[in-house]
Structure 1
């Protein structure tokens, strides 16, 4: 989307106002008009088609829910919507990084935990590594390898999909199911 003209701004303001009145046709039209632009913002931050599409959906849900609070005299409509998409993308990026860091810390950094020199810690760290290894072996090969690529090596879902010659939704499902199985398995140990 190029820089909006005054008429385009007026159209977007009108569509947002209609969204505030819960006009679903207005939301659809608004989505058609600005989703490529907002998705590009999310993609530049996340570098992932799948994540940027998810963020776009979240952004439009927020636009829908907050349309009544939009004030045209404070921000142009595209600026307001772009900031929503940008903050959603930044939140998602931080969330993905936290998840990845937690997994790596639990898998690789166990020996670096406080008290690492104490014998009890060494035993506990060894047990945790053993249990994690046991739990990983209960996963199917594709799920196990996907988890390793994502959380240990930082591969994106798209990169993992390329490795397995599959689509990103399949990889997303593998990661979700695998993480849940790992959690349940480790909690039972």
Structure 2
């Protein structure tokens, strides 16, 4: 097994046997290339990383169905990534049509407090900073935060909305909260 193709076939075969070291080696070997495939379709580092993660989960679960005589290993791997990226792109486009932009003024207006001129100025400034910080987030993270914190949806509901898994949504919410915190602290 001295060619790259033979190495990939071997790694896929070992994944079929549930060898986690093989999955790691496979990711290290072809991950950057497959990430580039996803990025060319999605044009977003975050979305490409999500598609790649979903693809490797599918590769892990379906490695036993790979047949070297039907497709070269890199072709098989790239097609899985391509389909995951296209699914994500389709889902994004459906959700963009479904959602309208949320009025961030409503967030600040909902904050209880007195309506003195000073409070209104502070609320206006806070509204500006929240809006600015939210616009720095990726679309999936931004919409997940809106759905969770402004509309009260659970992680499971958000995962269903985006046709993804709950752990991905949990990651989006965690990353988004950290980035918002950092952005607002910098103000």
**Alignment of structure 1 residues 101-180 onto 2, 5 Å:** 101-104=97-100, 134=106, 137-138=109-110, 141=127, 144=131, 160-161=135-136, 168=137, 173-180=141-148
Distance of aligned partners of 1:172 and 1:143 in 2 relative to their CA distance in 1, 3 Å threshold: farther
Tell me the equivalent position of 1:10.
6
Alignment of 1:13-162 (within 5 A): 13-104=9-100, 134=106, 137-138=109-110, 141=127, 144=131, 160-161=135-136
State the 1:173 CA deviation. Answer: 4.3
3-state SS, counterpart of residue 68 of structure 2: coil
Q: Tell me, what secondary structure is at the counterpart of 2:67?
A: coil
Measure, in 1, the Cα distance between the counterparts of 2:109 and 2:80.
41
Q: Are residues 145 and 137 of structure 1, via their aligned partners in 2, closer, same or farther at CA, if it must alter by over 3 Å?
A: farther
CA gap 1:90/1:143 in 2 versus in 1, 3 angstroms: farther
- The TM-score, its normalising length taken from structure 1, stands at 0.62
> How much does 1:78 deviate?
0.3
Q: Please, which runs of 5 or more residues in structure 1 have no aligned partner?
A: 1-5, 109-128, 148-159, 162-167
Q: CA deviation at 1:96?
A: 1.0
Residues 1:137 and 1:178: Cα distance change in structure 2 (over 3 Å): farther
2: CA distance between counterparts of 1:181 and 1:138? Answer: 13
CA RMSD of aligned residues (A): 3.0
Contact 1:55 1:88 in 2 (8 A): yes
Measured after TM superposition, the shift of residue 182 of structure 1 is: 3.9
| C-alpha displacement of 1:25 | 0.6
**CA offset digits 1:64-115 (Å, max 9, x no partner):** 01000101111100000000000000000111111111113xx69xxxxxxx
Structure 2's unaligned 5+ residue stretches are 112-125, 154-187
